[in-house]
Amino acid sequence: MTNPSFHPRGELGLTGACCENADGTKWISEHFDSRARDHCEEYQRNGLSPSSTILMRRLIDDGLSGRTILDLGCGSGQFSVEALKKGALSIVGMDLSPVMIATANRLAGESGFGLKAKFLVGDAAKQDHKNSDVVILDKVVCCYPSMEGLLSKASSACQERLGLIVPRDVGFARVPVRIGVYVDNLIDRIRKNPARMYLHSLDRVDFLLRGFGLRRKIGTVAGFWLVLIYERY
């Protein structure tokens, strides 16, 4: 399915599997610090997730070789390393989790890309980023209670394309996606896990990115997720 329609709606902060200090992000580093090893081992066993694989293919179709990449919310670096394997010129990644960043730097070095990849600890929604041809937000927008700062910083650095993966909160999938997020969040609350998943209006995402000079080129369904690519115009 390509270019699914977006429907107007408000934002939901529903608490769960994807992704608090005063701005609601403290939990991200604590939560993903504990998952870095598992994420890396899963990648080494099975490669990228299905949704990330689709995003990679779409980027390759439009030209990835020789491009500079900015991977915001890069986690343990799997997508970045795969992009380098596919011919990307260089990678800069940023994540709130120090353990994820240490894992990403180690993975890049072990994969032979130590000189082409740089991974840094930081909040992508608050940092100014070096301009890059392609910017990646792979399941990151849903971690932030407020997405405006993140999208602004990402868009400002984007020279050609912005690829992002968000929950598929549109059309017929909206009800099951919301139920799934609610249940997952409820379980985390019961377990006193501070993790949060936030469902943001995809119309609002589109409106903001257009305001930053980007237009939607591709929308592809990947199960629970929606893979989107925006291009500079």
Give per-residue pLDDT as tens, 149-208.
Answer: 999 999 999 999 999 999 999 888 999 999 998 898 898 889 887 777 889 999 999 999
Three-state DSSP at 214 gives strand
pTM of the model: 0.83
Q: What is the mean pLDDT of the chain?
A: 86
> Can you list the alpha helix ranges (DSSP code H) found in the chain?
26-33, 36-46, 50-61, 78-85, 98-110, 148-157, 174-190, 202-211
pLDDT digits (tens, 9 = 90+) for 142-161: 989 899 999 999 999 999 99
Q: Which residues of 180-193 are buried (b: 16+ CB within 10 A; e: fewer)?
A: bbbebbeebeeeeb
CATH fold label, 12-232:
Rossmann fold (3.40.50)
d(Cα 166, Cα 51) in Å, to the nearest integer? 10
User: Which residues are within 8 A (CB) of 118 and not within 5 positions of it... i.e. 6 or more apart?
Assistant: 90, 91, 92, 93
Tokens of 154: 């990402």
Q: Are 199 and 16 in contact (CB under 8 A)?
A: no
- CA 36 – CA 99 distance, rounded (Å): 6
Res 231 pLDDT > 80: yes
5 CB burial (10 A radius; 0-12, 13-18, 19+): exposed
* Residue ranges per structural domain of the chain: 12-232
Residue 174 tokens read as 């909206």
What residues are paired with 118 via a beta bridge? Answer: 92
